[in-house]
Chain A
Amino acid sequence: MKLTLKIWRQANANAKGSMQTYPIDGIEGDMSFLEMMDVLNEQLINKGEEPVVFDHDCREGICGSCSLQINGEPHGPDRGVTTCQLHMRMFNDGDEIVIEPFRAKAFPVIKDLMVDRSAFDRIQQAGGYVSVNTSGNTIDANSTPIEKENADAAFEAATCIGCGACVAACKNASAMLFTSAKVSQYALLPQGQVEASTRVLNMVEQMDKEGFGNCTNTGACEVECPKGISLENIARMNREYMAAVSKG
């Protein structure tokens, strides 16, 4: 395959960025999108130019590092995959592909396609945990049966990889899907209920403080989420939040 890549290049957080064009040839359908980027970078290095910087690590869709906006969509045109699992067979010979970083005020660009998603960490630090010590001196794991349905739903919410595609997809750059997934995981489990009120209040407060926008229920986040995190989580978080507020 012969392709034309239009890539956002930005030297550092303070520099002004711009789109650059790179023709590329010899791309095979079995390559992942990032392996295609590897080919480009190898060519750039051999020419003495700086390779394109992008976040990536596990390359199996679970670490949540990769974060490219491809042809206007987070993680590109395929559904239910991260960029590292997107394969070039999704594209055709002669295509032009536009590659940008995830765009959001709360995700400033570090370099080229790499953004700073530490806002997500701070939301988790505000309350995304159960306050038990790790001494192991707790009750036996099977002493609290949990309905399978709830356990499974908690698991589904907990599969969020924290990549930020939901924010990049949202016209308001809202982090509601991300935050609600964590809130839901704990809200659905007895272990999480003790601190449910303070958790949701603190996490939402931090989310707002980071500069993420509000949710207007367009549902773009759910469509683009590589792990299929459901909008129901946002509804659940809103209920949790209202309950916590009314409790005072």
Chain B
Amino acid sequence: MSILDAKIPEGPLADKWTKYKNEINLVNPANKRNIDVIVVGTGLAGGAAAASLAELGYNVKTFCYQDSPRRAHSIAAQGGINASKNYQGDGDSDYRLFYDTVKGGDYRSREANVYRLAEVSGNIIDQCVAQGVPFAREYGGLLDNRSFGGVLVSRTFYAKGQTGQQLLLGAYSAMNRQINRGKIQSFNRHEMLDIVKVDGKARGIIARNLVTGEIERHGAHAVVLATGGYGNVFYLSTNAMGSNVTAAWKAHRRGAFFANPCYTQIHPTCIPVSGDHQSKLTLMSESLRNDGRIWVPKKIEDAVAIREGKKKPTDLSEDERDYYLERRYPAFGNLVPRDVASRAAKERCDAGFGVNKTGEAVYLDFASAIDRYGKMEANIHKIDNPSAQKIYDLGRDVIENKYGNLFQMYEKIVDENPYKTPMMIYPAVHYTMGGLWVDYNLQTNIEGCYAAGEANFSDHGANRLGASALMQGLADGYFVLPYTIGDYLSNDIRTGKIPTDTPEFDQVEKDVNDRIHKLMNASGKHSVDHFHKKLGKIMWNKCGMSRNAKDLESAITEIAALRKEFWADVKIPGSADSMNPELEKAGRVADFLELGELFAKDALNRSESAGGHYREESVELDGPQKGEALRDDVNFKYVAAWEYKGEPKDAVLHKEDLKFENIELKTRSYK
């Protein structure tokens, strides 16, 4: 048997979680007061976990690098959150949400985890509404829903294009209530730099106070890492500037397995890169694909003319446009899953049909939606023979009401009015499905070290469906961890406070200080960003939307060489014993330089195409799916969990075979 035990409860799929909750050990309220839990990261998963654990009675310490928990990058999630409420009566159910998620993930996620996620999804909405999260409502006063990619029902709850913000502020408010009660101590502008193990169990962390530069020790009975994803390994991504892999990577270096690092989501609808100065990319929510139609010119001459500024998109008639998603995938059309939509955009642009000056952009057009809504509104308001302008105005109001903030954001960045001319979009790195390997309890293979939200690998397989990240973060934090962690902590009621004046803490603190010293003393010639940009280029060109063995092999060599160069030649001004953002960045990039290599190694190992991981060597050669990605269930129906052995290239692969007992493995078709 593999050394990876997922600890999936026995019994029928739909009963596993209920039965499991009935059987796990609990900690009585008086004993909870003697138990400390550290939560690193205060996004949806971390914020929700911290609040819930504190409510239960544990003493919680939270850590975030931002100046307030409210600024974690969950705040930027736009489109919505899925739940199988079936309020629309369109055939939704827990099973269907489960099925869509497993299929959307290209059959590379764990059935039991995903079913549990679907099962608790409805509770999340109840909980958030009780907290005062202002979701969008219909005129009758009930909650409104919309549709997202890869599904045929409307199950997405939303708050305009700011759903993540509203949900995070909900979790933050729950945290604030516990901070006010003294049950959460919130360490802001603090960064976790390592994890401390005592007798094999996670018993604390070493953190740096980012204002004073002080290195601090914090002990606890369990450590939860809710530190998000590692998309910034690509330098340019939709992640926040500070988003990083450091906490997860440090746990990996201390023994936690890192699972499926190559599973990256490249989101199809982002604002295209405008130049070399670019520091980050901005997402345009997938919800826009409800109403926007994606197209490029049919004729290459038109694409060239548009690139040269000789033609405008609005000059092209309907039959001069290629709505390529509707053409290739008639069943799902513009709402195919993200990986499919991204590859299709790349295919058209690589073939020369791109529409901006770099040739890397396609149109997302709202003209027909404005027209459709305008006519509908005219009907509702009993306006006979409305003029074209009236229809446009009415339709525009509907679109503005739904997506106003996104349109405004687009206009500010691109300096074009998207109500008048189609938006230009191109895929960008957005989310990482891979992460720390966890069992059903969300525990890593380090006892007492848990990973929640994007930081773990468990629920999205090889591709995440839209509006499922918020669902998973809150499910993990509010409803899963509070139970599973109790089962573990029930063994700790007699342990007493974890002391930090021990050899274990001494050693890890020394390791942290040595590393900082080494970084500060490199005294080289180039800034941290210089190396980060170089790493990003390698990752995007060789480990991006389309991968092959030759490129991946060279990526591994190049990243290793770049890492060496970084340690010899990085230049960090200032000192370590005061605020120093360059030092913070350096530590993060140093970890990305290791993760990047493991990423490429994992992508090389997985010679099938699955979800966001597309290997040029593995495509359908014939039949109705010709040209589409080809999965290989015989050889790759497993989670690749990597064990750290010093250098990323020496990492050892452990396989967790995925068992599909409730879903038949099929070719994922959206045609």
Contacts and interface: CB of A to CB of B under 8 A. Distances in A.
A134 B51 contact: yes
Interface stretch (A96-104, A136-144, A212-220): A136-144
A65 B412 contact: no
A1 interface: no
B309 interface: no
Interface string A101-135: 00000000011001011101100111111111111
B279 A87 contact: no
A116 B211 CA distance: 10
B75 A45 contact: no
A10 to B, nearest CB: 11
A89 B529 contact: no
Interface in B82-101: 85, 87
Interface in A24-72: 28, 30-32, 34-35, 38-39, 42, 44-46, 48-51, 53, 55-65
B71 A63 contact: yes
Contacts of A145: 137, 140-142
B277 A28 contact: yes
Given A63-B66, A89-B415, A117-B67, A189 B280 contact: no
Interface string B375-415: 00000000000000000000000000000000011001101
A111 B582 CA distance: 14
A134 B578 contact: no
Contact of B162 (A81, A146, A159): A159
B127 A138 contact: yes
Contact of B87 (A48, A55, A137, A142): A142
Contact of A191 (B131, B143, B479): B131
B211 A129 contact: no
A80 B241 CA distance: 22
Interface stretch (A150-158, A167-175, A240-248): A150-158
Interface residues of A, number: 80
A189 B141 contact: no
B330 interface: no
A62 B162 contact: yes
A204 to B, nearest CB: 15
Interface in B242-295: 242, 274-275, 277-280, 282-283
A85 B412 contact: yes
A162 interface: yes
Nearest to A139: B126
Contacts of A117: 67-68
B130 interface: yes
Nearest to A56: B241
Contacts of A154: 132, 134
Contacts of A159: 162, 165
A161 B140 CA distance: 29
Contact of B579 (A12, A38, A59, A61): A12
B78 to A, nearest CB: 9
Contacts of A31: 275, 277
Contact of A30 (B76, B132, B140, B275): B275
B173 A87 contact: no
Given A147-B141, A155-B166, A63 B75 contact: yes
Nearest to A157: B134
B286 to A, nearest CB: 15
A12 B578 contact: yes
Contact of B126 (A60, A138, A152): A138
Nearest to A43: B527
Contact of A58 (B52, B240, B529, B579): B240
Contact of B141 (A129, A148, A162): A148
A211 interface: no
User: Which residue, of A28, A62, A132, has the highest number of chain B Cβ atoms within 10 A?
Assistant: A62
A57 B43 CA distance: 14
B130 A58 contact: no
B127 A38 contact: no
B278 A35 contact: yes
B641 interface: no
A192 interface: yes
Interface in A182-196: 185-186, 189, 191-192
Given A35-B279, A60-B409, A189-B132, A50 B160 contact: no
A223 B58 CA distance: 44
Contact of B127 (A59, A136, A148, A151): A136
Interface string B577-619: 0110110000000000000000000000000000000000000
Contacts of B479: 136
Contacts of B76: 58, 60, 62-63
A110 B571 contact: no
Given A57-B73, A61-B409, A129-B131, A121 B139 contact: no
Nearest to B160: A155
A140 B126 contact: yes
Given A53-B581, A134-B48, A192 B142 contact: no
Contact of A60 (B132, B166, B282): B282
Given A124-B172, A136-B478, A155-B159, A57 B241 contact: yes
Contacts of A87: 412-413, 415
Interface in B220-246: 238, 240-242
A149 B173 CA distance: 23
Given A134-B52, A134-B55, A136-B123, A45 B582 contact: yes
A117 B66 CA distance: 11
Interface stretch (B8-16, B175-183, B343-351, B623-631): B175-183
Given A53-B579, A63-B73, A129 B241 contact: no
B38 interface: no
A118 B188 contact: yes
Contact of B176 (A34, A56, A129): A129
Nearest to B164: A62
A55 B68 CA distance: 12
B449 interface: no
B496 interface: no
11 contacts: A28-B275, A32-B279, A34-B279, A58-B76, A61-B412, A124-B176, A132-B127, A134-B131, A145-B142, A151-B141, A185-B134
State the 7 A-B residue pairs at the shortest beta-carbon distance, nearest first: A145-B141, A136-B123, A129-B173, A155-B134, A138-B130, A141-B129, A154-B134
Interface of A: 12, 28, 30-32, 34-35, 38-39, 42, 44-46, 48-51, 53, 55-65, 78, 80-81, 85, 87, 89, 110-111, 114, 116-118, 120-121, 124-142, 144-148, 151-152, 154-155, 158-159, 161-162, 185-186, 189, 191-192
Interface of B: 48, 51-52, 55, 66-71, 73, 75-76, 85, 87, 120, 123-132, 134-143, 159-160, 162, 165-166, 169, 172-174, 176-177, 179-180, 186, 188, 211, 238, 240-242, 274-275, 277-280, 282-283, 408-409, 412-413, 415, 478-479, 527, 529, 571, 573-574, 578-579, 581-582
Given A146-B141, A151-B141, A185-B134, 11 more contacts: A35-B277, A57-B66, A57-B241, A61-B409, A78-B412, A121-B68, A121-B69, A128-B176, A132-B130, A136-B124, A136-B126
